[in-house]
């Protein structure tokens, strides 16, 4: 089958493209740039912006399914920039599906759509956790709108599913672990709270596998059609344990210092005012949303994903850490 992957040049996107090629599919990637790694895989690349409806429409011509993985992520930026990428971009993908008669859409969402300040989520499935509110972060707010539209589009001609992988990591990651390691080496990393909050994460191979499993089961009327699912390794660890294991795997020093939630939250509020006021570049070191995320338990049940499309994590955290340390 000819399959379009949006955001195929990113960390998860490349894993999706690689896995789909290995499964015998013809793969196209819709990116903002050109990626030699995709070229080496034999993946066709189409450059464009998700907010450009015509570009998305033309990219989707002739494909049988779409993995909509592209998004604007992060904890900082204007609401409009997130809205254009995450909501308008998703609307354009849905419009392309309808225009071309594409029957399957696998959407990469995020657990952040259920964010509610410091309210914990512990061992629950997606159908047991309501959407969040008062996000204080455009990423979570716009991904919520996009996921809702994807699920609402499920019907007699288009089957959709939304997957919410939690904190993807592994070899090839150029965002999460490298940034943590950089801050740890500079002595600028702290636990918000005492670090005892349990959190889920997802090794990159498992995140990709969940997408393939969902795709294999996704047809009109399938158990997973029109639904959202949390995805993780299913091995929740205390934040202080998890973070230091990741840092040890890349030879970065452990984190030993803490900062209270109230202090981190206040710092985040100050940063959110100062950054635009002083026109500071880059992301602030703390935001209110980030403070809430870092101190709150977030771990989920994998039973719905196992039941509806057979997802079982294949790579344990211990094995993933060995792969991360070896760089493979």
What CATH number does the domain containing 159 carry?
Answer: 3.40.50.720
Catalytic residue among 107, 139, 265, 311: 139
Q: How far apart are CA 114 and CA 53, in angstroms?
A: 28
Q: Which structural domain range is residue 133 located in?
A: 2-173+201-235+298-315
pLDDT at position 148, please? 98
| Within a domain: 211 | yes
Residue 307, domain member (yes or no): yes
Domain count, the chain: 1
pLDDT at 77: 86
- Give pLDDT, residue 43: 98
Is 139 considered catalytic here?
A: yes
* Interatomic CA distance for residues 254 and 11, integer angstroms: 25
Q: Is 109 exposed, middle or buried (0-12, 13-18, 19+ CB in 10 A)?
A: buried
Compute the Cα dihedral for 15, 18, 24, 25 and give only its sign.
positive
CA dihedral angle for residue 17, residue 22, residue 26, residue 30, rounded to 10 degrees: 0
Distance between alpha carbon 194 and the CA centroid of its chain, in Å? 26
Q: Report yes or no: 133 and 117 within 8 Å, Cβ to Cβ.
A: no
What pLDDT shows up at residue 328? 64
In sequence order, what DSSP letters do the residues of 94-140 get, joined into one string?
HHHHHHHT--EEEEE--GGGG--TT--EEEE-GGGS------SSHHH
Give domain status of residue 35, yes or no. Answer: yes
- Asked, for residue 52, whether it belongs to a domain, the answer is yes
pLDDT at 278: 84
What is the C-alpha separation between 263 and 253, in angstroms, rounded? 24
Q: What angle do CA 132, 159, 93 make, to 5 degrees?
A: 70
Q: Which two tokens stand for residue 209?
A: 């596998």
DSSP state of 9: T
Closest CA to 10 of 159, 134, 165: 165
Cα–Cα distances in angstroms (integers) from residue 217 to residues 68, 189, 199, 311, in the given order? 17, 42, 28, 11
328 residues of the chain, pLDDT tens digit each: 999 999 999 999 999 999 999 999 999 999 999 999 999 999 999 999 999 999 999 999 999 999 999 999 988 888 999 999 999 999 999 999 999 999 999 999 999 999 888 889 999 999 999 999 888 889 999 999 999 999 999 999 999 999 999 999 999 998 899 999 999 999 999 999 999 999 999 999 999 999 999 999 999 999 999 999 999 999 999 999 999 999 999 999 999 999 999 999 999 999 999 998 888 888 898 999 999 999 999 999 999 999 999 999 999 999 999 999 998 6
Does 324 fall in a domain? no
Residue 214: inside a domain = yes
194 is a domain residue: no
Whether the model pTM is above 0.85: yes
Helix ranges (DSSP H) in the chain: 11-22, 36-41, 53-59, 79-82, 89-100, 138-152, 176-185, 204-217, 239-249, 261-277, 288-295, 303-309, 317-326
């Amino acid at each position: 089958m000819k399959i379009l992957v949006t955001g195929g040049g990113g960390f998860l996107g490349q894993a999706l493209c690689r896995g789909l090629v290995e499964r015998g599919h013809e793969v196209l990637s819709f990116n903002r740039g050109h990626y030699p790694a995709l070229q080496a895989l034999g993946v066709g690349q189409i450059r464009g912006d998700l907010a450009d409806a015509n570009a998305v429409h033309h990219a989707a011509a002739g494909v049988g399914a779409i993995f909509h993985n592209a998004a604007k992520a992060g904890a900082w930026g204007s609401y409009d920039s997130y809205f254009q990428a995450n909501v308008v971009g998703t609307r354009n993908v849905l419009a392309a599906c309808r225009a071309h008669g594409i029957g399957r859409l696998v959407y990469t969402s995020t657990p952040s759509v259920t964010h509610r300040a410091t309210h914990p989520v512990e061992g629950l499935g997606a159908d047991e956790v309501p959407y969040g509110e008062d996000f204080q972060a455009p990423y979570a707010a716009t991904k919520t709108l996009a996921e809702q539209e994807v699920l609402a589009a499920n019907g007699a001609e288009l089957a959709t599913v939304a997957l919410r992988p939690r904190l993807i990591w592994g070899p090839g990651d150029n965002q999460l672990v490298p940034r943590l390691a950089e801050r740890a080496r500079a002595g600028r990393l702290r636990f918000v709270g005492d670090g005892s909050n349990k959190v889920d994460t997802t090794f990159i191979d498992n995140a990709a596998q969940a997408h393939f499993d969902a795709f294999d089961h996704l047809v009109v009327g399938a158990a997973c059609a029109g639904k959202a699912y949390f995805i993780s390794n299913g091995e929740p660890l205390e934040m202080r344990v998890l973070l230091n294991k990741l840092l040890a795997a890349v030879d970065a020093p452990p984190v030993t210092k803490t900062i209270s939630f109230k202090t981190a939250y206040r710092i985040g509020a100050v940063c959110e005012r100062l950054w635009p006021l002083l026109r500071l570049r880059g992301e602030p070191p703390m935001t209110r949303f980030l403070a809430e995320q870092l101190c709150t338990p977030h771990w989920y049940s994998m039973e719905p994903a196992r039941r509806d499309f057979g997802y079982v994590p294949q790579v344990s955290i211990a094995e993933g850490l060995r792969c991360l340390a070896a760089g493979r």
